[in-house]
Structure formats: structure tokens, C-alpha cells
Structure 1
Amino acid sequence: MRQALALSLVALLLGGCASDPADRDISGTWINQSAIDAASKGGPLREALQAYGPNLEWDVNTRAGQARYTNGFENVEGKLLGEESGAWKVDFYGSSASELKRDGKQLSQAANDNEPEQVFDRASVPVPEGAPIGASFERALYSAYMGGSWKILSGPGEGNTVQFQPDGQVAGLPGADRYALCLAGDCASMSGGNDNIWLQVNGQGNTWIFARKDKELEIFQTVNTALADEMPSFTPGDRKWLLEKQ
């Protein structure tokens, strides 16, 4: 009886030790789920990304000693240094290093002089093999923020049901078969704080400004107020569509 109990305790201890490395392993793709959750409440997209970002996705390979992240504009690669007390440092070749630490099912990025503390969750939405970094975040965001069925209340195709797919396809919106949300970078700078969306059909498209409030989505034509030799500066023009989430 005592021998069986002792063996059980040994097995339990060994099992716990064996699980520790897995609990600390930070390899894989991690996305900024907090930003997605904030956006999915139905408010402005840029506000959610700025509040919980700026980084959107980490891709870590501990075996190869590599770590990279994207903020929606830049893709940054670094060298993953050894683990110390559960924390991993990422060296970005001369710039300030980042520190990553796993806390259960989440990955935390410590605050530094340039960025606040940020939290990431393991990506669960599948992406095609070879997809660029950021694809996991993008698909999860598109599903949460644009997913479901929308009805056109006014504008071309009034009465149509519109569906925005996680892979960037859109059906039911006249004159568009693909879309892309602006996450950061030049497209954000050119829109003066407004959210914008790229709509295209047969490979040709344009930038539109949109406003999301709860279940309503307004899409406006863009008016470029910049001079010909300046970077475009878009402001909302006439409203083209008003959609309501069903």
C-alpha cells in the first residue's frame, strides 16, 4: 500500500516537472486579443488599437532563437536570448530590447521606454501556410469586428445582406469583392484620425472612410484635401452606405 502510494507521488512529481517546460514555452503565434475584444464592442477601430497596442502579433521560435512582431505597419525581427527566471529577452540589433514572459495562457510584453505593457493570446484562427506575420491577428479581428450579416439600410444595393469574411472577401456590397481595414501606417496618417477601409473589385479599388457605432456601419466617400505634391489627406465626403448588423 505504502509502495503504491510512493510510486503515485513520484509519478505526480515527475508529471509536474515534465509539464513545466511546456508551461514556460513561448514558441508560436500570439495575437493582441485585448485590442480585438475592445474593437468588437462596436466602437472606433483605431481607438481600440491605440489603447491596447501598438503591437498586434508576435511570432516566436525558441528553438531557432528568433522572435518577430508586427504593429500593422512594420514587421520587426529580433534575436531571442536565453530564458532567465521565466523571462525571455529579444534583442533588436541596437534598439531597445523587449522582454517576453508567459503567464499561463497569455504572453506579456514588459513595458519599456518606448511601449507600454501589452498582453497577447495564442492565435486560434487558422491561416494559410506561408501567410505573412499579422495574418492571424487580421483574420481574428475581421471575424470579430466585421463578421456576421449586415443589411444595407441605404445606398447602392439597399436591402442586400452583406458579409465580410475573415480572409478579406466581401459579398453583397455592390462594386466590391474584397476589403481591408487600415490598422496602422500611412493609411492611418492620411485619414486624420478617421477609420478607413479599402474596397476593391477585380483588383481595382479605393480608400473609403468608415464610422462604426454599435451595430451601425457608415461608409463615406473620401475627399482629398492635400495639394498635388503633398501626401493625401482624406476627410469624409458624402455617405455611400449605411449598414446595420443583424
Structure 2
Amino acid sequence: MRTILIAPLFIWLLAGCASQSVDPGGIWINQAAIDAASQDGHLREALLAYGPNLEWRIEPQRRRASYSNGYEHDEGRLVREADERLRIDFYGDYHEYLSLDGDQLVQAASGTWPEQRFVQPTTAAAAHAPAGSSFEQALYKAYLGGRWTIQHGPGQGGLVLFHADGRVEGLPGAERYALCLAGDCAAMSGEYDSLWLQFGEQGQAWLFERDGDRLSIYDAVNQAQIDEMPEYRKGPRRWRLQRH
């Protein structure tokens, strides 16, 4: 009799555990875009091919979800539908649909863009960090991490380190850097990849090419009129770096 009483209880507990949905809460990043950029070297091409969204932040307790595409950030109301899909309602009657597929968060295809997949980062940015920071840190580490030597240009022979938090060491005068992911900087750079280098209180845009473990940084020459948005073309090469 004791066995008969225990068995139903055991089955009920198992059923209860199985019915619990996986918690989608947390930060999810577009690892496919990072992998493509790191392997091919062409940053903007990879972001366009696997984006446009680069990071999701899901907050079930607040019933909120937000995304970043490297330029814009938008937050919407999180609704869990009967089929366990997540519907994100944004201002203006605009919706996105998310679901879990194993350890991936899937953003459903829409009339605007194809299906996109996200994973949770190995190391997430601090809770107070700006939206998109976890993606940026993972990208910076994969794309520019490691030890670089200046083969040509100011500081020739020196060691350069690009840190995941945006600091740069060894590139003469430069203190911080930022890769252009989307928005105005991408529009101004056209077909080229670009980055921003900060020199003390001043900074400027540069164009670059990454071919495997070789990185070339060029002057960004503005060919637009003074009253127009800058339009950069590749100028003289300032640095050539080799990663070891």
C-alpha cells in the first residue's frame, strides 16, 4: 500500500518538473555574426548577413524585453503565448516573436528580416552597462583579441593590445577604440569597415581592413562637401599590424 501511495506522488512530481518552461531570461548575443566576422575579416558584411539585431535582453520578472542592433535600442512588453513563444509588443503595434530551441534563442523570420539565432554569452557585461555591451565585448575579444605587433607605421615593432572593454594599448597616442557596427558611421564609411580611435580628448574615424591575422588601418579621407554628411574613402595607410 505504501508503494501505491508513493508512486502517484513520484509521477506527479515528474510531471510538474516536465511542465515547467525553460527560463529565457538574461542576455542573448548574435554569436553567428561574431563567428562570421572573425573568420572572414569583413565586419560589416557579417553583421548585415546575420543581423540586424545583435543582442536581446529578456527580463521575465519585469515582463520586458529589449534589443540592440549596434545603433538603436528599443524595449517592448513581453508576453508568453500559449505555445511558449514569446511575443514582444513594441510601440506602434509592432511585434517580434522569440522562442527557445535548445540553448539558442530564435527570433522568428518576418517581412523585414530572416530568422536570427542568439546564444547566452560566456561572460555578460555588467548589469548597468549600455545595451549591446555584451555583444560588443564578445566581438572585440574574438575579432581583435590577442597580441598584435606594429609592422609598419608609428611605433613600429611595438606590441598592441585591443581589450574587450574598448581600451587599446600600444597604438601611439590612442587610449580607446570602437568598431563601427551600424548607423551613421556605417553610412559614412560606405563599403569599408571603420573604427573610432580616441586620443585624449580628441578622436577620429579610421578605415581598416582585416585579412586573417593582418590588420591595416587607413586615414579616412572625407570627400563630401562641408555642408554634407561625411563620406569617407580610403587614404594612406597609417598602420599595419600582425597578430601572433
Partner SS for 2:161: strand
1:44/1:211 contact within 8 Å kept: yes
**In structure 2, what is the equivalent of residue 172 of structure 1?**
170
Which string of whole-angstrom CA distances, capped at 9 and with x for unpartnered residues, describes residues 131-176 of structure 1? 0110000000000001000111101111111110000000011120
Aligned length: 244
**In structure 1, what is the equivalent of residue 13 of structure 2?**
14
Residue 207 (structure 2) aligned to one of 209, 218, 234: 209
**In structure 2, what is the equivalent of residue 230 of structure 1?**
228
Q: Which runs of 5 or more residues in structure 1 are unaligned?
A: none
Q: CA distance change for structure 1 residues 105 and 209 in 2, over 3 Å: closer, same or farther?
A: same
Residue 65 (structure 2) aligned to one of 64, 67, 91: 67
**In structure 2, what is the equivalent of residue 48 of structure 1?**
46
**In structure 1, what is the equivalent of residue 159 of structure 2?**
161
1:175/1:201 contact within 8 Å kept: yes
**In structure 2, what is the equivalent of residue 91 of structure 1?**
89
Q: How far apart, in 2, do the equivalents of 1:100 and 1:123 lie?
A: 17
Q: Which residue type is aligned with residue 156 of structure 1?
A: P
**In structure 1, what is the equivalent of residue 143 of structure 2?**
145
Q: CA distance change for structure 1 residues 126 and 109 in 2, over 3 Å: closer, same or farther?
A: closer
Q: How far apart, in 2, do the equivalents of 1:161 and 1:5 lie?
A: 72
Q: Which runs of 5 or more residues in structure 2 are unaligned?
A: none
Residue 107 (structure 1) aligned to one of 105, 108, 114: 105
Q: How far apart, in 2, do the equivalents of 1:19 and 1:177 lie?
A: 52
Partner SS for 1:238: strand
Q: Which consecutive segments of 4 or more residues in structure 1 shift more than 4 A?
A: 2-13
Q: CA distance change for structure 1 residues 19 and 235 in 2, over 3 Å: closer, same or farther?
A: farther
Q: CA distance change for structure 1 residues 223 and 95 in 2, over 3 Å: closer, same or farther?
A: farther
2:218/2:235 contact within 8 Å kept: yes
Between 139-148 and 40-49, the greater mean CA deviation after superposition: 40-49
Q: CA distance change for structure 1 residues 152 and 101 in 2, over 3 Å: closer, same or farther?
A: same
Q: CA distance change for structure 1 residues 157 and 19 in 2, over 3 Å: closer, same or farther?
A: farther
Q: How far apart, in 1, do the equivalents of 2:87 and 2:77 lie?
A: 8
Partner SS for 1:29: strand
Residue 216 (structure 2) aligned to one of 215, 218, 230: 218
Q: CA distance change for structure 1 residues 121 and 202 in 2, over 3 Å: closer, same or farther?
A: same
Q: Could you tell me how far 1:48 is from its partner in structure 2? A: 0.7
Q: CA distance change for structure 1 residues 219 and 6 in 2, over 3 Å: closer, same or farther?
A: farther
- Name the TM-score, length of structure 2 as normaliser: 0.93
Q: How far apart, in 1, do the equivalents of 2:178 and 2:3 lie?
A: 61
Partner SS for 2:156: coil
Q: Could you tell me how far 1:70 is from its partner in structure 2? A: 0.7
1:149/1:162 contact within 8 Å kept: yes
